[in-house]
């Protein structure tokens, strides 16, 4: 039996489960909110064209508009100034949209401190237990933040000092960009950086360093609790928008049961 035939059989029998890591996209999908004078992304908006009526008796369809970085989405390198001149979302090689996943569970620590930052030592401790980060794979940071995905205020968790959401430290972002064998980082928050990352030096280190290194970001993921620490395979499917800095994406994981 060929490899692909084996996969098809495993999917049919349930030996391999497909887990959807995508938050459904709708008009109330939370978005990142930047302070003035910076521009902000559009929310998801939809306009009905016809619905089995005189505008089109046999079909239902809609127009929609939204930002490239709304909802569960893919960050291409060109999204950040450090990645200008690198791949836009249509230029990302298809083979780099599929890769093994390393799931780092820090939910208990985030419950105690919403400003939690992942450090290199945390990754090293995970590697000591589970093995090295996968070559050409994703580091998925499980924080439990997907429980807040239904509400704009809860997912941003902001006060007068700004948002308080977990993320990655400057040193860890630098290490993940320059030394780790991964192709990108996936998170449950609205962006790959921590809520307080605007005040880091440099600001927004995940965006600046990983995208500048030709790596990628996935955001607003769900159901990471259904993935093992190792062994899952992630498929990220952004729209190949020519010149696009990113795209809403359907992100799936294959999990052997």
| pLDDT by position in tens, the chain (length 257) | 899 999 999 999 999 999 999 999 999 999 999 888 999 999 999 999 999 999 999 999 999 999 999 999 999 999 999 999 999 999 999 999 999 999 999 999 999 999 999 999 999 999 999 999 999 999 999 999 999 999 999 999 999 999 999 999 999 999 999 999 999 999 999 999 999 999 999 999 999 999 999 999 999 999 999 999 999 999 999 999 999 999 999 999 999 99
- Are 237 and 247 in contact by the 8 Å Cβ rule? The answer is no
> Which residue, among 60, 31, 65, 61, has the nearest Cα to 45 in the 3D structure?
65
- Are 253 and 232 in contact by the 8 Å Cβ rule? The answer is yes
The rounded distance, in Å, linking the Cα atoms of 91 and 238 is 11
Does the active-site annotation cover 69?
A: no
The rounded distance, in Å, linking the Cα atoms of 207 and 216 is 9
Catalytic residue among 79, 130, 150, 207: 79
- Return phi, psi of residue 253, to 5°: -130, 135
Q: Model-level pTM?
A: 0.96
CA 4-138-190 angle, 5° bins: 120
């Amino acid at each position: 039996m060929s490899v692909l035939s084996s996969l098809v059989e495993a999917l049919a029998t349930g030996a391999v489960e497909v887990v959807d890591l995508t938050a459904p996209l709708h008009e109330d999908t939370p978005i990142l909110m930047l302070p003035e004078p910076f521009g902000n992304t559009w929310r998801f908006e939809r306009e009905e064209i016809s619905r089995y009526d005189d505008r089109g008796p046999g079909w239902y369809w809609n127009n929609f508009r939204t930002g490239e970085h709304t909802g569960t989405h893919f960050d291409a390198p060109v999204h950040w100034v450090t990645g200008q001149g690198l791949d836009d979302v249509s230029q990302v090689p298809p083979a780099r949209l599929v890769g093994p996943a390393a799931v780092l569970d820090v939910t208990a620590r985030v419950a105690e401190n919403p400003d939690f930052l992942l450090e290199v030592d945390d990754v090293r401790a995970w590697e000591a237990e589970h093995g090295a980060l996968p070559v050409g794979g994703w580091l998925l940071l499980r924080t439990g933040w997907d429980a807040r995905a239904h509400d704009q205020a809860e997912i941003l968790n902001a006060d007068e000092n700004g948002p308080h959401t977990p993320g990655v430290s400057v040193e860890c972002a630098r290490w993940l960009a320059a030394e780790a064998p991964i192709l990108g980082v996936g998170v449950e928050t609205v962006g790959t950086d921590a809520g307080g990352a605007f005040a880091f030096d440099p600001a927004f280190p995940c965006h600046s360093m990983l995208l500048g290194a030709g790596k990628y970001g996935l955001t607003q993921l769900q159901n990471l609790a259904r993935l093992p620490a190792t062994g899952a395979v992630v498929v990220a499917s952004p729209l190949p928008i020519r010149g696009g800095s990113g795209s809403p994406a359907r992100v799936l994981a294959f999990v052997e049961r």
